[in-house]
């Protein structure tokens, strides 16, 4: 009886990991700027051959473009674009940033 409970807990743990992987991979897959056919092929591959599809996606997925990286870092840090623009505006109004520096930073945030 004890080992059955341990087995079910282990199974629940593996199921939770599996669901986390699927949610993470599908959210990354469907928010990429790929062609629709590539996204569909990856989706079918992951659903049809789950273990091979997930491992292949983790190995072969492309690195984010340089334009995507700053937005990804802001998202991971939990900083919204509006908050960052508000901070830049505050720095500009206090005179810490010049007009040129403010325009350059604003363009970086909005890119």
- Using one digit for the tens of pLDDT, what is the confidence trace for 39-89? 888 889 888 998 898 888 888 876 666 666 666 666 666 677 778 888 888
pTM above 0.85, yes or no: no
The set of residues, in sequence order, having a beta carbon less than 8 Å from that of 108 and lying 6+ positions away, is 70
- State the average pLDDT for the chain: 83
pLDDT at 103 over 90: no
> What is the pLDDT, as a whole number, of residue 5?
93
| CB-count exposure of residue 42 (10 Å: 0-12, 13-18, 19+) | buried
Question: Hunting for tokens 């790929």 — which residue is that?
Answer: 34
* Average pLDDT, integer, range 81-100: 84
CA 108 – CA 111 distance, rounded (Å): 5
Give the number of other CB atoms < 10 A from CB of residue 46: 20
pLDDT of 99 strictly over 90: no
């Amino acid at each position: 009886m004890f080992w059955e409970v341990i087995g079910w807990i282990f199974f629940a743990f593996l199921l939770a990991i599996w669901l986390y992987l699927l949610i993470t991979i599908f959210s990354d897959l469907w928010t990429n700027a790929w062609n629709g056919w590539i996204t569909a092929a990856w989706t079918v591959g992951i659903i049809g051959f789950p273990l091979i599809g997930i491992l292949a996606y983790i190995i072969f997925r492309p690195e984010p473009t340089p334009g995507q990286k700053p937005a990804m870092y802001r998202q991971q840090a939990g900083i919204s674009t509006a908050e960052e623009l508000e901070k830049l505006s505050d720095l500009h109004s206090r005179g810490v940033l010049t007009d040129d520096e403010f325009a350059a930073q604003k363009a970086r945030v909005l890119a």
